[in-house]
């Protein structure tokens, strides 16, 4: 089985965006706006239509089986509005992902976003994680290390602010993919520099602080091939040796996905990162939609790169299946529920 | 000749740090503190001593000839104090680098830092660049894309704020290495994530805005192997094609250095980036001081990786010499002066 551990519902029916735009408008007019959940009216047929020509078609064409599916990352927008804004929006988005997985239980397994909101406690995220995993069979969550949207004004991942979430993730045995949302800072391009910078930043927070050793069961997935980390593997290993940081110990907690959109990048990833720390992913339909004119293949068809990389069939299977089942043990449970 | 285009004076005699600490103390007590330049008393012997056992010894041991030498990047600290703070400190640091190059004209050529200061115009940097290049034979400058020190609250590189500097750099025919300083934001580790994130961020600002095409002679060097850029070459190329950005046109303005501290990273760099866009560098003595226990070689001895990379001798010479002379045409002038 080929599991893609990183997919977002980027093709939602128009009613989703419309609901969010109305909410954004209300909270722009009144920053204390609370509002209510309300309804987002979407039929099952609309959901099917939004996926059949996109993610489902591409799964079939590319030969992947199951996608770990979460709400659109760039739309999480934790910096927008207040705790209520984030909560109502998050609940809708997660329930929509649950519906997708109920409609296509063979194709998708649910991963939730969290209702983070700058300057508020992490408790709301703990509550939503419990709801999603405990009541709705989710298998993981996305954790935004910078809910300020590119100003990095919140506490680093090693801060006690996060501990209730780390404890709940350990208790529920679900990993977190470290994934920022859209940048509202014009210095950053959301998918070009903010995502990759955040990946590297989060890894470095974990490495330099060593806090993950206090949470033996805590697991993070660093997406987008780990940002700059594998390319600078020697830099990070060397810094760790200079500073006495436990690099190898960290690798018991951290995996990297394969969202690197060219052959030499994937070659480097599988060469330097231990195979057990690599999880197959493509993030389609995502940051790069086009086809490489030189190869005639889609940039984000990462399966092709992995097929051509120097890894044994056994290792390829680990990357595509057993590593992911190890990091996301609830995957079996989540699927069985449907 | 093997030119290392990226070295900082990280081993300055104690009087330099002491002067700076006194200045920081004064401006911490009074944010409007202006102070005066004053003197930093250092003998030529102290300078010699600070280099003979470090950069000069390593040049000899590793077989490199000439280092483009600039003030310690993490000490630029543009976020500290005000415009006066930054000006006096910068003048001292640049003059010290000039002294180094006068003492060792065969070994070092000078690159200046700029007296950037958040919320102030770029004019002071233009003035200092003119002084350094016009009066003191400097061959390039370091440009900090985030003088806020990790909060990214200033204008992006495409903003008109920067234009007087870009115009002066074109007029003087000197390139700028894009290099942030220490992060004062606890989310970032200075050399681990802030440097690499800034490299990627700056590249992306240039790519998405296309502003460099308005300055035909403007040249940037992205250090630390280009941050995450070469590893994600397909991502950036694909995004550029999706968005209609001129990726190939940008490469007429941008080069990447070879500060990547392991063999697979350098292999990837020379495989994906056109040879004419690669400049040899090691940034020693810098972020990683130790030796790889597996190879018995220093992590930052990038010459070894380049020697073992799949490039022809002709291409290796371009990376180590002719590309650098093309990007830094004043290198001849700067050396002749001494």
CB atoms closer than 10 angstroms to residue B252:
14
Token couple for A163? 């501990």
CA–CA dist B25, B15 (Å, integer): 15
Q: In a mutagenesis test of the B interface, which of A201, A241, A281, A299 is the best target, namely the one with the most B β-carbons within 10 Å?
A: A201
CB atoms within 10 A of CB A289: 15
Put simply, the answer to whether B235 touches A192 (Cβ < 8 Å) is yes
pLDDT value of residue B80: 98
Residue B143: closest CA among B173, B169, B171: B169
Give whole-number Cα distances, B21 to B27, B87, B151, B181, in Å: 10, 15, 23, 16
Please provide the average confidence, as pLDDT, over all residues in chain B.
Answer: 96
Which positions 143-202 of B are in contact with A (Cβ < 8 Å)? 145-146, 150-154, 156, 185-189, 191-193, 196-197, 200-201
In angstroms and rounded to an integer, the radius of gyration of the C-alpha atoms of chain B is 19
Show Cβ contacts of residue B51 under 8 Å, excluding neighbours closer than 6 positions.
B11, B100, B104
Distance from B152 to chain A by nearest Cα, in Å? 6
The pLDDT assigned to B335 comes to 52
Q: Which pTM was predicted?
A: 0.97
Which pLDDT belongs to residue A335?
A: 52
DSSP labels, B216-256: TT--EEE-GGGTTTGGGHHHHHHHHHHHT--HHHHTTTEEE
pLDDT in tens, B15-64: 999 999 999 999 999 999 999 999 999 999 999 999 999 999 999 999 99
Q: What pLDDT is stored for residue B337 in this prediction?
A: 44
Q: Is A128 a catalytic residue?
A: no
Mean pLDDT over B197-217 rounds to 98
Residue B185 is classified by DSSP as S
CA B302 from centroid of its chain's CA atoms: 16
pLDDT, position A331: 95
- Tens of each residue's pLDDT in chain A, 338 residues: 999 999 999 999 999 999 999 999 999 999 999 999 999 999 999 999 999 999 999 999 999 999 999 999 999 999 999 999 999 999 999 999 999 999 999 999 999 999 999 999 999 999 999 999 999 999 999 999 999 999 999 999 999 999 999 999 999 999 999 999 999 999 999 999 999 999 999 999 999 999 999 999 999 999 999 999 999 999 999 999 999 999 999 999 999 999 999 999 999 999 999 999 999 999 998 899 999 999 999 999 999 999 999 999 999 999 999 999 999 999 984 454 44
Closest to A23 measured CA to CA, from A8, A33, A15: A33
Measured distance CA(A164)–CA(A156) in Å, rounded: 14
Beta-bridge mates of residue A291: A298
Secondary structure class of B213 (helix, strand, coil): helix
Q: Out of B171, B186, B271, B283, which one is annotated catalytic?
A: B283
Q: What is the pLDDT, as a whole number, of residue B338?
A: 41
Please measure the distance between the N-terminal and C-terminal CA atoms of chain A and give it in whole angstroms: 18
Q: Say if strands A278-279 and A291-292 run parallel, antiparallel, or are unpaired.
A: unpaired
CA distance B68 to B112: 10
Instruction: Say what the ipTM of the complex is.
Output: 0.97
User: In this complex, which of A196, A204, A262 lies closest to B200 when CB atoms are compared?
Assistant: A196
For residues B173 and B136, give the distance between their C-alpha atoms in angstroms, rounded to a whole number: 15
The pLDDT-based confidence of B332 (bands split at 50, 70, 90) is confident
Three-state DSSP class for residue B71: strand
Quote the CA–CA distance of B8 and B54 in Å, as a whole number. Answer: 12
Separation of alpha carbons A238 and B80, rounded Å: 29
CB B71, CB B62: distance < 8 Å: no
Say what percent of chain B tops pLDDT 90: 97
Please tell me the distance from the alpha carbon of residue A282 to that of residue A39, in angstroms, as a whole number: 32
Determine which helix (DSSP H) or strand (DSSP E) holds A222, and give its type and residue range: strand A220-222
Q: How far B38 CA sits from the closest chain A CA (Å)?
A: 36
Decide if A193 and B204 are in contact by the 8 Å CB cutoff.
yes
Cβ B181 vs Cβ B154: under 8 Å: no
For B101, list phi and psi in degrees, rounded to 5: -70, -25
Q: What is the model's pLDDT at position B179? A: 98
A234 touches chain B (CB under 8 A): yes
Q: What percentage of chain B exceeds 70 in pLDDT?
A: 98
In the structure encoding, which two tokens stand for residue B272, read together? Answer: 């994906």
Cβ–Cβ of B235/A205 closer than 8 Å? no
Q: What is the Cα–Cα distance from A47 to A13, expressed in whole angstroms?
A: 7
Specify which residues B278 forms β-bridges with: B256
Contact present, B97 and B117 (Cβ < 8 Å):
no
| Residue tagged 């690499």 (tokens) | B196
CA angle B94, B197, A228 (to 5 degrees): 125
Q: What is the DSSP letter of A225?
A: G
Distance (Å) of CA A2 to CA A52, A58, A64, A147, A322? 19, 13, 5, 32, 10
Within the 67-86 window of chain B, which residues sit less than 8 Å (CB to CB) from chain A?
none
The answer to whether residue A239 neighbours chain B at the CB level (below 8 Å) is: yes
Beta bridge partners of B110: B69
């Amino acid at each position: 089985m080929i599991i893609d551990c990183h997919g977002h519902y980027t093709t939602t029916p128009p009613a989703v965006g419309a609901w969010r735009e109305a909410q954004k408008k209300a909270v722009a007019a009144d920053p204390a706006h609370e509002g209510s959940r309300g309804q987002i009216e979407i039929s099952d047929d609309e959901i099917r239509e939004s996926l059949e020509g996109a993610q489902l078609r591409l799964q079939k064409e590319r030969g992947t089986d199951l996608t770990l599916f979460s709400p659109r990352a760039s739309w999480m927008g934790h910096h927008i509005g207040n705790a209520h804004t984030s909560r109502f929006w998050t609940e809708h988005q997660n329930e929509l992902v649950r519906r997708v997985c109920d409609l296509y239980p063979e194709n998708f397994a649910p991963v939730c976003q969290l209702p983070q909101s700058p300057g508020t406690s992490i408790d709301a995220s703990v509550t939503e994680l419990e709801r999603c995993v405990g009541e709705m069979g989710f298998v993981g969550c996305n954790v935004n290390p910078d809910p300020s949207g590119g100003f990095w004004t919140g506490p680093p991942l090693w801060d006690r602010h996060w501990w209730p979430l780390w404890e709940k993730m350990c208790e529920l045995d679900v990993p977190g993919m470290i994934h920022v949302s859209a940048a509202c800072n014009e210095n950053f391009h959301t998918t070009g520099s903010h995502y990759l910078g955040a990946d590297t930043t989060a890894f470095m927070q974990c490495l330099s602080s060593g806090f993950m050793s206090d949470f033996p069961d805590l697991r993070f997935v660093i997406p987008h091939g780990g940002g700059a980390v594998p390319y600078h593997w020697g830099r990070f290993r060397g810094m760790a040796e200079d500073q006495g940081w436990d690099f190898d110990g960290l690798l018991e907690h951290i995996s990297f996905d394969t969202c690197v959109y060219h052959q030499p990048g994937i070659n480097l990833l599988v060469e330097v990162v231990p195979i057990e720390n690599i999880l197959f992913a493509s993030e389609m339909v995502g940051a790069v939609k086009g086809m490489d004119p030189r190869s005639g293949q889609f940039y984000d068809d990462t399966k092709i790169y992995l097929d051509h990389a120097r890894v044994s069939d056994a290792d390829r299977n680990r990357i595509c299946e057993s590593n992911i089942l190890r990091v996301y043990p609830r995957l079996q449970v989540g699927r069985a529920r449907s």
